[in-house]
Structure 1
């Protein structure tokens, strides 16, 4: 398989019922928003030739809708839709069949692939791709920025990925599990008992999460991050999630890999100091 693909799916542009003007406009705008998000992530949206023959209204193929002068939606909205469709890169059936995972853009519900309508759908497909197609550390790190928008990665990244025994690709599923839990589930309040919360989080994430017990190791667990004004700040990351085996089923060898993080988010971001070998 080759990595993920986002594409305008003909099926998602087809309908057998007349769609009211406002609803159609809303659906087009929703698609344009996600198309822009995908472009901002330096991803390319694809299309197949059958797209232009999808009936966006009963008896009205997409190509006719895009280039006619009817007033079913505003001229500006139609022009934006035309630009988005036309700039999508063509992909043939053979190339398409090799892609996994597949994200389908469109206006209407109904697809055998992952339906991409909003930022959450996009984020989850990026996570699936990280599991299925773990790439080199640099690209893995770049994709993590979009898959886990609530996390801020230290300047240790992406180099620290290379410290996983046998390479981070062997642990990609578990790395995604841990980052997902930190991004989606971390709810620590400053007045809580941190050790007690880490036990609770271990149950939520299904990964043992503990606190460094040796105060003398604080310097080794202090990492550099880029602040909002581009200056460098130092943050202590003592809590850590433990990754003790590879993704390979039946792997019984115990490993000492860790994800170190700061328990206190700042400006909506949870700081991740290191992912790799035990420090």
Structure 2
């Protein structure tokens, strides 16, 4: 799930900006950079042209490396440009001028450009990174790539070992990507909001709220406790490498109310140490014989 980002030259050129505004904008920029550079298959490219633009009445490079009015943010920006971002003029130009790709993100540094190339997705927050990842996830050509992209796209979700196998039920994945992403998005965005209800009143009450928030996605807990124990206990690996088994009774139903295509999940509730709050045990068809 490779994604290329560009530090837009046009996002430096601008009118006078106060030191307070600069500090705020750079803090936002660092958050975006940290979100991106944690992944080996996501990179930020920039051009030397960024240094040549006029900023606050002088060349940007002069402002950046001037000892006058030195700040922690300026020091950190130099570090990012020298160590974390990739200087590649040719690749930058190719990506910027490409008319065929919509998998390029344009990162704003200090000033929002007046316009973007149509194929470049504006990136002005870490949520924007999740948005472009979702766009690319939608175009995954196989189940393996789709699964690898889930954790990056939905940071509140953590997958069991079983998912890598069960999701192969959706073949080809391209036919089902839209519906899967709709359900995964709802679980990532709304299930955590229902955690306190789950703790106080249990699965049924929490899922009623989840259904309302997700605009009617069909969801329910498994009714047979014996089946939950026998068929819906999935293995998750915690941050220490320990395998934890967690029963995942709640599930959403894809496409229609009586569908056998389902996503089984559970609130982590610290059962899998150091992992995200929503555990996904199974993505696929009905995990047991209903007879």
State the partner residue of 1:92.
Answer: 93
- Map Cα deviations across residues 31-63 of structure 1 (whole Å, 9 max, x no partner): 233223211122111335654444333452x45
Q: 1:170 to 1:72 in 2, by over 3 A?
A: farther
Query: For residues 200 and 22 of structure 1, what CA distance do their matches in structure 2 show?
Result: 41
C-alpha RMSD of matched pairs (Å): 3.0
**Does residue 122 of structure 1 match 2:122?**
no
Query: For residues 39 and 264 of structure 1, what CA distance do their matches in structure 2 show?
Result: 27
Residues matched between the structures, number: 265
State the partner residue of 1:201.
Answer: 210
Identify the match of residue 110 of structure 2 among 107, 110, 114: 107
Query: For residues 274 and 228 of structure 1, what CA distance do their matches in structure 2 show?
Result: 20
Q: Please report how far the alpha carbon of residue 29 of structure 1 lies from its aligned counterpart in structure 2 after TM superposition.
A: 4.0
Q: Which runs of 5+ in 1 are unaligned?
A: 246-253
State the partner residue of 1:213.
Answer: 223
- The 3-state SS of whatever aligns with 1:217 is helix
Q: 1:149 to 1:21 in 2, by over 3 A?
A: same
Please give the residue correspondences for 1:104-183 in structure 2 after superposition, counting only pairs within 5 Å.
104-105=106-107, 106-110=109-113, 111-112=115-116, 113-131=120-138, 133-164=139-170, 166-183=171-188
- The 3-state SS of whatever aligns with 1:261 is strand
- The 3-state SS of whatever aligns with 1:79 is helix
Q: 1:222 to 1:78 in 2, by over 3 A?
A: closer
- TM-score of the pair, normalised by structure 2: 0.77
Q: Please report how far the alpha carbon of residue 272 of structure 1 lies from its aligned counterpart in structure 2 after TM superposition.
A: 0.5
- TM-score of the pair, normalised by structure 1: 0.80
Query: For residues 3 and 96 of structure 1, what CA distance do their matches in structure 2 show?
Result: 16
- The 3-state SS of whatever aligns with 1:45 is strand
Q: 1:84 to 1:10 in 2, by over 3 A?
A: farther
Identify the match of residue 30 of structure 1 among 25, 28, 31: 28
- Contact 1:4 / 1:100 at 8 angstroms: preserved in 2? no
- Map Cα deviations across residues 189-217 of structure 1 (whole Å, 9 max, x no partner): 22215224323322322320122223332
- Contact 2:48 / 2:87 at 8 angstroms: preserved in 1? no
Identify the match of residue 260 of structure 2 among 253, 256, 262: 256
- Map Cα deviations across residues 82-132 of structure 1 (whole Å, 9 max, x no partner): 31686244333466322214322122234535443433232232223212x
- Contact 1:152 / 1:270 at 8 angstroms: preserved in 2? yes
Q: Which runs of 5+ in 2 are unaligned?
A: none
Q: 1:84 to 1:35 in 2, by over 3 A?
A: farther
State the partner residue of 2:281.
Answer: 273
Q: 1:230 to 1:264 in 2, by over 3 A?
A: closer
- The 3-state SS of whatever aligns with 2:201 is coil
Q: Please report how far the alpha carbon of residue 72 of structure 1 lies from its aligned counterpart in structure 2 after TM superposition.
A: 4.9
